[in-house]
Structure formats: C-alpha cells, structure tokens
C-alpha cells in the first residue's frame, strides 16, 4: 500500500495521486505557493482519494473561504472509496476543523495522535499561534501547545516541519535556546521553508536581534512569491524591525508594497491584523496618523470580517473602528462580543471587549481609562491568540498610555519586568536604557 512522507498508509492505488498529495502537504507545511493546485492534481488522478479532499478543504479554510472548505469536505466524505481506520478518523476530524468545532477538534486530534503520532496532517491544525490551540482562547494555551509537541517529539526525530513548529512553541514560552537550536536545524534541512523563516524571525525578535532579523529576512525573501501564505506577514516582520531601528520611511515602503490589501494573496486574517497593527505601532512609535491608509484598512476589515467571531480579528477591527471614528461599527461589534461573553460563549473571555474599550478611550485621549481597561486583563492577553510579538500591540498601547498620562513609575515598573531579551519597545516617550 502506498504511504505519505510520514509512513502513513493512504488509500489510493495511484502513484501520481499520492505524489501530488505529498507535494501539496510539503507546500502547505512550508508556507509556499501551490498546495491547492497540488491537491487538485491528486484529486484529478484519483477522485476517490478522500484525504486529498480533506487537505484541499484545509487550504480553502486557511484562505478564508469556509463555505468552499465545507463543500470540499462534503465531497470527500461522500466518495465511495474504502478507508483505513486512520483515514476515516482523519475525515471525521477535518469535518470538525472545517465546521468550526474547535474544542471538539482539539480533543479528536489528541485522541488520534495517541494511535498515529506521526500523522502530521492531523497535528498541523493544532500547531502555530493561529492554529486551533493558538486561537482556542484558553488560559495557558501556550504551555498546552508546548506539552503536546514535547510529547510527540520522539516520534518525529529531525523532521524539518516538526522542528519548526516545536521551535515556535518553545520560543513563545521563553525557552529561547531550545527554540533557536531547533529552528536553525530546520532551516538547514529545508532552507526555503517559509514557516521556518517566519519562526526564525520570532526567535530573533525575542532575543532582541532586530538588525539580524532584518538582514535574515531581506536575504531570504527574494524568490518568495506574493501568493505564498506568509508573503504579507514576513514583510510585516521586516517592517517591524525597521520601526524598532527607527527607520519609519523604510517601514512604510514595505507596508505600501507588501502588506496593504491587494499587494499579496495571503489569508485575509494576516492582511487585516498585520495592516492594522503596523499602522498603530507606527503611531505609538511617534509617527503621524495617515487617514487614507487607515480608511483602506478599515474598509477591508469590514468587508472580510463583517461579523464578530474571531478574537484576534475582532480586536484589530475594534482598533480600526476607534481610530477611524466608526462609532456605529465599533458599538455593534462590542455589543455582540459583550452578549457572547455574558452567555459564556466567548472563548477568549473578557480580553477583546476590554481591549476595544481601551482603544476607544485612547482615541478620545482618556489615557487613564485606557489603562483601567487593559490592566485587569493584561495577564490573560495570550487568550487573544497570535504570537507574543503580535500581542506586543497590547503592551505597547498600555506603555504609551502610561507615558501620555505622565505615570512614570508605571512606565519604569513595566520596563523592569518586560520579558528578558525582547527588543526595547518602539514607543515614543520612553526613557532609553543606559
């Protein structure tokens, strides 16, 4: 029987279908362009190859097309081919994933991996900061992800994809030496792994290596296609290093050519969060507000995410609403979030509504109200989702509010306790370290 790259048997007799499926998985795992086309080739070679349909569905979901993802899963599940027990459970699992049943999917993933620990396609949705665990809204979700990958590590050895994801999880909980060792090994094994390049940027960010990160990514980016999953986000990382290094003009050049809507084909969530976060962080660093750029991001946000439901997106949309003075849009989303929280249906709890109120207070220059909104949820902001580097938007907003309110003691207290190694916050008005 044919098998995938991890030794898992697949129910297809077509070598062409299996090879296209393996190619698609590697393109998906590496964040490179073309996984959807590869999975479509696998389906064309064997229309009854159920796992290829599931993989196609996952790509469509990551692209921000949930309806197409569900349709792909339904088509694959309706195929008459005989499946192994592993494949049948995989199909049931991806039905949960693509229908938004995240908690059930996390439980199903753990159960599946107890029997088939090297089923990387099943593990993949539970990895990274945008995965099922990363967006679960749970307290302690960073540690949960490390525990999962520590448990599985003996089964993967020196696999480049696993090393990349394990490195990311370790870096997010402050195990920086272990993270660097794994990501350096992964990139030596697979140099054109875009997810690996991304994770290397995070390791360098957490180690305060802005100059090294800028050089690494600028050297790596040539040849990476605009339709690559991480095209927008990798450029966002470069732009952040430019802000840290005080090069605002260079940062905005990158923003205008690779981050704003229409310049990449990255998932909508990346374009939204990276675009809004960049503009806000540029202001916190001392830059002037650009209403035209903000208006473009605000329009994109409401076009792509008209309804509340994804904590990480909602936080950035509330920020865009506050900056652009869209009181109607802001209040409608905040009301929806408040209602869900009261019903116990908001996975991230009070974090996003509190941030929304903080952004609104900041917009009206009520610095103490912004501080009062953020401080009670500050210790829980991992529930927002995203990486520590991305969630620095929360920390930097709080810092800037302290500065604007003249609360020097709070500024110094925060700086004294900021996580060790990370770059000095690019926030205007902070006392520079000696």
Per-residue pLDDT, 80: 78
pLDDT at 75 over 90: yes
Nearest-angstrom CA–CA distance, 212 and 234? 14
The CATH code of the domain at 15-126 is 1.25.40.10
Question: Which band of pLDDT confidence, cut at 50, 70 and 90, is reported for residue 10?
Answer: very high
Cβ neighbours of residue 61 closer than 8 Å, sequence gap 6 or more: 69, 97, 98
Per-residue pLDDT, 423: 81
pLDDT at 56 over 80: yes
DSSP state of 131: S
In the block, tokens 């001392």 appear at 286
Domain layout of the chain by residue ranges: 15-126, 135-207, 262-417
pLDDT (tens digit per residue) in 228-252: 999 999 999 999 999 999 999 999 9
Provide the 10 A C-beta neighbour count for residue 77: 17
- As assigned by CATH, the class of the 262-417 domain is mainly alpha
> What pairs with residue 3 in β-bridges?
9
Same fold, 15-126 and 262-417: yes
pLDDT (tens digit per residue) in 356-372: 999 999 999 999 999 99
> In degrees, to the nearest 5, what angle opens at C-alpha 74 toward C-alphas 70 and 76?
115
Above pLDDT 70, what percent of the chain? Answer: 100
* Burial category of 422 from C-beta neighbours within 10 Å (exposed 0-12, middle 13-18, buried 19 and up): middle
Q: What is the mean pLDDT of the chain?
A: 96
Instruction: Enumerate the H helices of 268-347 as residue ranges.
Output: 268-284, 291-304, 311-324, 327-342
Closest CA to 296 of 267, 327, 255, 347: 255
Alpha-carbon distances of 318 from 114, 221, 297, rounded to whole Å: 40, 32, 12
Tokens for 203, please give them.
């390791």
């Amino acid at each position: 029987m044919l098998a995938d790259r991890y030794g898992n048997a697949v129910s297809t007799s077509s070598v062409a279908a299996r090879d296209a499926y393996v190619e698609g998985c590697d393109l998906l795992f590496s964040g490179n362009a073309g996984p959807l086309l590869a999975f479509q080739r696998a389906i064309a070679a064997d229309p009854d190859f159920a796992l290829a349909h599931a993989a196609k569905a996952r790509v469509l979901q990551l692209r921000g097309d949930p309806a197409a993802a569900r349709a792909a899963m339904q088509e694959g599940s309706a195929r008459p081919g005989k499946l192994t027990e592993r494949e049948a459970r995989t199909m049931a699992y991806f039905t949960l994933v693509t229908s938004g049943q995240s908690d059930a999917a996390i439980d199903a993933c753990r159960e599946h991996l107890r029997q088939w620990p090297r089923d990387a396609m099943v593990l993949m949705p539970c990895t990274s900061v945008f995965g099922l665990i990363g967006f679960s809204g749970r307290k302690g979700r960073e540690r949960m992800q490390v525990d999962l990958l520590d448990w599985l590590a003996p089964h993967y050895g020196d696999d480049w994809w696993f090393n990349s994801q394990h490195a990311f999880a370790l870096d997010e909980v402050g195990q920086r030496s272990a993270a660097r060792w794994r990501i350096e090994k992964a990139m030596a094994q697979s140099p054109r792994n875009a997810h690996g390049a991304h994770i290397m940027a995070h390791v360098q960010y957490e180690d305060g290596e802005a100059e090294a990160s800028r050089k690494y990514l600028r050297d790596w980016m040539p040849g990476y296609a605009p339709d690559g999953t991480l095209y927008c986000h990798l450029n966002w990382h470069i732009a952040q290093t430019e802000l840290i290094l005080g090069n605002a003009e260079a940062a905005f050049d990158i923003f205008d050519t690779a981050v704003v809507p229409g310049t990449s084909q990255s998932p909508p969530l990346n374009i939204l969060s990276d675009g809004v976060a960049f503009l806000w962080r540029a202001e916190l660093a001392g830059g002037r507000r650009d209403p035209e750029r903000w208006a473009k991001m605000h329009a994109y946000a409401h076009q792509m995410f008209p309804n509340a439901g994804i904590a990480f997106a909602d936080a950035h949309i509330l920020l865009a609403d506050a900056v652009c003075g869209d009181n109607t849009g802001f209040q409608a989303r905040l009301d929806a979030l408040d209602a869900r929280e009261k019903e116990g249906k908001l996975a991230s709890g009070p974090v996003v509504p509190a941030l929304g109120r903080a952004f609104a207070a900041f917009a009206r220059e009520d610095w103490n109200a912004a501080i009062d909104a953020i401080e009670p949820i500050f210790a829980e902001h991992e529930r927002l989702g995203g990486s520590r580097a991305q969630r620095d938007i929360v920390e930097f907003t709080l810092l800037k509010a302290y500065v604007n309110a003249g609360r020097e003691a709070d500024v110094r207290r925060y700086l004294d306790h900021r996580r060790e190694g990370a770059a000095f916050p690019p926030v205007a008005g902070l006392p520079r370290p000696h």
